[in-house]
Amino acid sequence: NTVYVLNGPNLNLLGLREPEIYGRVTLDEIAGMLEDRALELGLAIDMRQTNHEGMLVDWLHEAQAEGARAVLLNAAAYTHTSIALLDAIKAITTPVIEVHLSDPKVREDFRHASYVGMAAAKTVEGHGPDSYRIALEAVASGEV
């Protein structure tokens, strides 16, 4: 019943980085909030962050190999560039939910395309840290 929560580049700086866009909540605080919610929902989370594209690919493969219930993936900027992530999501049967704090669709044009979204079972974006919670609840409810 473990849900992998995978976070991509620059999200280690959450809380400090462009707070007017991403807010002041840190990734550790999001992890704590998600752990509490997961417990209530009868799930467990495995929260990780990397600045390296290939690491995200490896972790997606691992989610499948370990029988994870689902993956919440905030691939950050790789969302908009990575065919490798698109292929990895297609290569596994574990459902992947695309997550973003901000709403990339109302930001710069180069954020409008999402390779992750092309293969993800669902996308939750624009709700700040609550995007992660909403995605977790979609797993718990069986929607994903």
User: Contact 138/102 with Cβ under 8 angstroms?
Assistant: no
Q: Can residue 77 be called a binding residue for ligand DQA (CB under 6 A)?
A: yes
Distance of CA 112 to the CA centre of its chain: 17
Is position 132 annotated as part of the catalytic site? no
76 near ligand DQA, rule: CB under 6 A: yes
Of 1 and 23, nearer to ligand DQA (C-beta) is 23
101 is in an annotated binding site: yes
Least distance CB 81 / ligand DQA (angstroms): 9
2 binds ligand DQA (CB under 6 A): no
Q: Does 74 bind ligand DQA (CB under 6 A)?
A: yes
**DSSP string across 87-129:** HHHHH--S-EEEEESS-GGGS-GGGT--HHHHH-SEEEESSTT
Catalytic residue list contains 4: no
Which range touches ligand DQA (CB under 6 A), out of 37-45, 53-61, 73-81, 136-144?
73-81
Q: Vertex 14, ends 10 and 15: CA angle to 5°?
A: 150
102 lies in the binding site for ligand DQA (CB under 6 A): yes
Check the CA dihedral 111-77-66-70 and report its sign. negative
Interface residues toward ligand DQA, by CB under 6 A:
10, 74, 76-77, 79, 100-102, 104, 111
